[in-house]
Structure 1
């Protein structure tokens, strides 16, 4: 073990992060970086330091405000501890958010590996987004909660990490809730408390060996800018296996809080509370084909406020529709399969594991809107980050012949990133060749509308990604497999949003949506016909998107 002493008199401790293949650091490469304050362990991380790092990450020092800290490094080349640097300036300050691999229209962290979105809420004109983050590696580990804020859902500012791992475990997924009525009694000076509910993932780190997965809370009394872990955690003790991922909502009809957590396999459990602090167990529900990261939200059918229903969502995108009778959830449907499960794969069963995962909706949105963001699991081979979040999608419940169904469409705010636009109506396939290049880019929001002919394939490519619709077999063919997509009329309409790490698709008026976790060729911004009958008419519009970081 090697150790050094620093004074926390600047903003950051800069850490050289080595590149690692795969999702985790190989056991033989793990180093333990520990931070001691007055002889007590206050932070510990698994790292892979490198003299020629892929990026320089930062550990925020403001919470130690001038204190003396002892840093210890165990494992591997322990002399690399000498590279750690206390600074007021990030190493990549001149290039941050302008890297060639960074998505233009999707949330990404400054540094590190990001996964599940967490804790989404709206308060005082600000959207808050949290996410699972390993700031000190490019794979899973050291799980913090990243914190970002926005005034328009599209331009985001990253703040210091909201939750740090501790002796109870890594900070696994959860949600946010705004206690507008101060049912918890923890509000101060008339400001409603804001809760983050999270999963202390015990035994996922050396520091937390022997601990279980439990449910805990952190509370903000300053409008959601700073959070303190609740002194009487856990609020829900261990129930089963790696129970996790609490989603908490207010049930206005029954005047109580509802929590749903993942238990194991495809089992989820409801819990109920009057004050967010004390919870009683309720029923267990199975969501076939799902695991982890539940979501729970309330929507009217066809915007009829007298016909409101609850939607219980399980990852990836299966859901059930129902209602509450007191403190009991009553399903009104069987499990409704989401688009990723309507697959006939020519490749493997893993093809259903497409980009969108762990979707979560915002709490406390005005005007009853339900907006959801998911994790896009794109592995990025260079740059200071890996993976991104989806664009914000607005959800609605609509009537269909099969009963009420969800529609998922890009939120209206996505239009705020449009830089320039081009369109044509009722033209033929040759018109794609006439699109002026200045309207094309790596990030685009496009809508295609084809007049179909029986037995005639529609095949085209967007940024090198082949998209095929076969009306004869009612299948949408994508690089990850063939998906069932039955259309009502002779028109095939598809909205496609591309960026540097993803391709998001929406069809059938939002009843079909899918995300491809892919890195398109940065030099290929083309839209090309591959197989289109000359008699097929095309309506088309494209909006080039500018960077959300500008």
Structure 2
């Protein structure tokens, strides 16, 4: 059987056996299982895992009905049976968008057997469309302080907040978005959650995250986040409205939402995103399957340069996939490229790099001949970059049939007064994910290198960079 061994098939990312995977949906932890639902051409695909690494694919969870296709949404554990659907026991409730003939409304379904069988609520939709073209992607949380369920939903280039006592009857509370952040395109797939600042549980801030649809301003789809206060009814942004904080500086991290109901003793807020872009959603050169999820990431808030920022780090479970590492002790690289004694298609790498005077330095990944994906930093310009202009296959087209400008260089400003940079990266058969300075800046990018592009190189130009430590771990396949 050739499944999961195809060209470009990711070896430690969740992808569908066949068909088209897009937005992550219904992410919830219940009875020792992580449930990962996902958009699957108007249905909810379904996979479960006990470690967020190894996945079992289950049958379609939610299929279209007389109210329309099943679009994005979430799932929660109704621990106290506030809905009255579970006879006093706990159960799973999915909240999702119904779409039919241009009309979007919010509905629910419920499961009494740990997510294996689902029944749609007879009174759907529970939130009819209020007269909006774009009204979709509900995310529900339990707000302890008010003792209510809170729902945040996309409403064109803003979000609406609702509250409920029972997940069935919903009351509109407020709106957020006018004059806030980027309005380059419709806001989609919102998420809302609290996080401690620098680990201080006495100082909580709320994060509101939204993805932004395909647009010319950012040359594709992207995502942004806000940090502020939320009282169960209204979100107040801590930042000036015109300030924009991007979630990811690559082009292939979209619709990220976090898992609900992770155990309190675990304490993490974990999310993942769809690893693609609405500029070229299903035009990848892959056979029988399209789309995949990013690696799961643990979220935190850290104060840097006087501002609270979102940090993303790969979950610790990924270390279970590590095999014997390649290690390189401190080495000075001066105006040269050094090929490392390592070859691989799917691996993790870490490095600490220091410098005094250098124009540019970094890694050349998945190299062979003229092919390479560059990941590095230019101190002279205070610019991080991920460059896939020579990463391999780039003949990808957008939904209008025009070239999608796939072979691009992505950049992000990063001021470093300490003259030290930490880079951690995950390379798979057709992806690169970079986490810089403990995840304060992240790049996620698809790449399609030739099968022989397996090399890794380090380089410096215009001076000397000291690669204080380099470690590369081959990663076992999850399949």
Q: TM-score range by the shorter chain?
A: 0.7 to 0.9
> Hey, what does 2:25 align to over in structure 1?
118
Q: Is 1:116–1:374's contact at 8 Å kept on the other side of the alignment?
A: yes
Q: Is 1:387–1:501's contact at 8 Å kept on the other side of the alignment?
A: no
Q: Which of the two has greater helix per residue?
A: 1
> Hey, what does 1:409 align to over in structure 2?
313
Deviations 1:358-389 (A, max 9, x none): 00100001222100100011743232101110
1:100 aligns with 2:100: no
Whole-angstrom CA distance in 2 between matches of 1:401 and 1:356: 26
Partner of 1:413: helix, strand, or coil? helix
> Hey, what does 2:435 align to over in structure 1?
506
Question: Out of 254, 273, 280, which is 1:374 matched to?
Answer: 273
Deviation at 1:493, TM superposition (A): 1.6
Question: Out of 69, 76, 100, which is 1:170 matched to?
Answer: 69
Partner of 2:192: helix, strand, or coil? strand
> Hey, what does 1:476 align to over in structure 2?
384
Question: Out of 55, 78, 95, which is 1:197 matched to?
Answer: 95
Whole-angstrom CA distance in 2 between matches of 1:182 and 1:247: 19
Q: Structure 1 length as normaliser, TM-score?
A: 0.74
> Hey, what does 1:17 align to over in structure 2?
none
Q: Which of the two has greater strand per residue?
A: 2
Deviation at 1:532, TM superposition (A): 4.3
1:448 aligns with 2:347: no
Deviation at 1:449, TM superposition (A): 1.7
Q: Is 1:393–1:410's contact at 8 Å kept on the other side of the alignment?
A: yes
Query: Bigger radius of gyration, 1 or 2?
Result: 1
- What are the within-5 Å matches in structure 2 for residues 215-254 of structure 1? 215-239=106-130, 240-254=132-146
> Hey, what does 1:57 align to over in structure 2?
none
Partner of 1:420: helix, strand, or coil? coil
Whole-angstrom CA distance in 2 between matches of 1:191 and 1:532: 64
Whole-angstrom CA distance in 1 between matches of 2:292 and 2:477: 14
Deviations 1:35-91 (A, max 9, x none): xxxxxxxxxxxxxxxxxxxxxxxxxxxxxxxxxxxxxxxxxxxxxxxxxxxxxxxxx
Q: Is 1:120–1:363's contact at 8 Å kept on the other side of the alignment?
A: yes
Whole-angstrom CA distance in 2 between matches of 1:251 and 1:504: 33
From the superposition, tell whether residues 330 and 186 of structure 1 become closer, same or farther in structure 2 (CA, over 3 Å): same
1:299 aligns with 2:228: no
1:400 aligns with 2:296: no
Partner of 2:21: helix, strand, or coil? strand
Whole-angstrom CA distance in 2 between matches of 1:321 and 1:536: 35
- What are the within-5 Å matches in structure 2 for residues 35-184 of structure 1? 94-134=1-41, 143-184=42-83
Whole-angstrom CA distance in 2 between matches of 1:416 and 1:546: 9
Partner of 2:305: helix, strand, or coil? coil
Deviation at 1:459, TM superposition (A): 4.0
> Hey, what does 1:423 align to over in structure 2?
327
Deviation at 1:530, TM superposition (A): 4.2
Report the count of equivalent residues. Answer: 426
Question: Out of 288, 295, 319, which is 2:181 matched to?
Answer: 288
Whole-angstrom CA distance in 1 between matches of 2:271 and 2:320: 18
Deviation at 1:288, TM superposition (A): 2.4
From the superposition, tell whether residues 191 and 334 of structure 1 become closer, same or farther in structure 2 (CA, over 3 Å): farther
Partner of 1:115: helix, strand, or coil? coil
From the superposition, tell whether residues 326 and 527 of structure 1 become closer, same or farther in structure 2 (CA, over 3 Å): closer
Deviation at 1:181, TM superposition (A): 1.7
Q: Is 1:292–1:358's contact at 8 Å kept on the other side of the alignment?
A: yes
> Hey, what does 2:214 align to over in structure 1?
none
Whole-angstrom CA distance in 2 between matches of 1:230 and 1:513: 40
Deviations 1:321-373 (A, max 9, x none): 2233353333333466334687xxxxxxxxx7x00000010000122210010
Q: Is 2:338–2:459's contact at 8 Å kept on the other side of the alignment?
A: no
From the superposition, tell whether residues 328 and 483 of structure 1 become closer, same or farther in structure 2 (CA, over 3 Å): closer
Partner of 1:399: helix, strand, or coil? strand
Deviations 1:122-160 (A, max 9, x none): 0111111011013xxxxxxxx111100001000001000
User: Relative contact order (C-alpha < 8 Å, sep 6+): which is higher?
Assistant: 2
> Hey, what does 2:401 align to over in structure 1?
none
Whole-angstrom CA distance in 2 between matches of 1:186 and 1:341: 39
Whole-angstrom CA distance in 1 between matches of 2:150 and 2:418: 41
